[in-house]
Structure 1
Amino acid sequence: MKSIFSYIFNGPEDLKLNFFKRLFIGFKTILLIICLILTFTLVLAPVTIPIGLLLFRSLTYQGQFVGIKNILLGLLFFILFLFSIPIVTSVMGSALH
Structure 2
Amino acid sequence: MFVKTYPEVAADPGIRRQVLSQTPELMVVAFRFQQEGAEGKLHHHVHVQSTYVESGRFRFSIDGEAFEVGPGDSFVIPSDALHGCVCLEPGTLIDTFTPRRDDFL
How would you bin the TM-score normalised by the shorter chain?
under 0.3
With normalisation by structure 1, the TM-score equals: 0.20
Higher strand share: 2
For normalisation by structure 2, the TM-score amounts to 0.19
Larger radius of gyration: 1
